[in-house]
Amino acid sequence: MAIADGVNWKLVAVSWTAFAAMAVGAPLGARAVRSSHPLEPVWGYGLASGAMVTSAALFLIPQALGQHGRLGSLGIAVGFLGGYAGHTVGHRFTHLELPVDRTTAELTVHALSAGAIIGAIYTAMPSLTSVLGVALVSHKAPAGYAAARRLAERGQSVVTLLLPAAAVGIVALPVGIVGLSPGSGLRGLLFGIAACVFLHVA
């Protein structure tokens, strides 16, 4: 009962949205291998990127600078650097023989980090609506579509995508239950990092 009282139900909604979006996109991507429709992923990625850029520009960046101007700006810089560093590491993995599927591993790592950020944001600012979180995870549908299409082309099962689909909630919910309450400076840093990580992904 105590755990239920500590759950941020907005995080539950965002986590389920992330799972459902990728779970819906994956079978569509697997099916698309049998019929070529190149415009499908284009409009999907366009909508998802637009939602993420809009959310970061209208919600996260103003929150970062409003909480603490200097640390918020530092968070924005760190977020950009972190995004590029993550991209570089992910590209490096493409040249290595790993015992796990690279596509699934990359999506899982990204989803785990996104879950940590989303969980921390809603813990720091519980008054935020779930619309922000839903917009931030909206890219899961086209990501699941593209990943499933690559897996299906290689003859691999798309069931493995259930892990990255659930990864946002796996991290976001425990962070929300712990209920850390950082000061304004740390909140500014956190919002800045979150804004530019999501901008980089978009």
φ/ψ bin of 163: left (φ > 0), alpha (ψ from -120 to 50), beta (otherwise): alpha
**pLDDT value at position 94?**
60
Question: How confident is the model over 45-64, as a mean pLDDT?
Answer: 76
Rounded Cα–Cα distance for residues 146 and 127 (Å): 34
User: Which helix (DSSP H) or strand (DSSP E) does residue 195 occupy?
Assistant: helix 184-201
Question: How confident is the model over 35-45, as a mean pLDDT?
Answer: 61
What the block records as the tokens of 148 is 């499933």
- To the question of pTM greater than 0.75 for the whole model, the response is no
**pLDDT value at position 4?**
46
pLDDT in tens, 172-189: 889 888 876 667 888 788
pLDDT in tens, 86-107: 767 766 766 666 666 677 777 7
Residue matched to tokens 């939602």: 51
Is residue 109 predicted with pLDDT exceeding 80? Answer: no
**pLDDT value at position 1?**
39
Q: Which amino acid is at 168?
A: V
Is residue 10 predicted with pLDDT exceeding 80? Answer: yes
DSSP state of 137: T
**pLDDT value at position 19?**
92
φ/ψ bin of 167: left (φ > 0), alpha (ψ from -120 to 50), beta (otherwise): alpha
Q: Which amino acid is at 61?
A: I
Among the ranges given (17-21, 59-63, 135-139, 168-172), the one the predictor scored with the smallest mean pLDDT: 135-139
**pLDDT value at position 14?**
86
pLDDT in tens, 124-149: 777 777 777 777 677 788 778 878 88
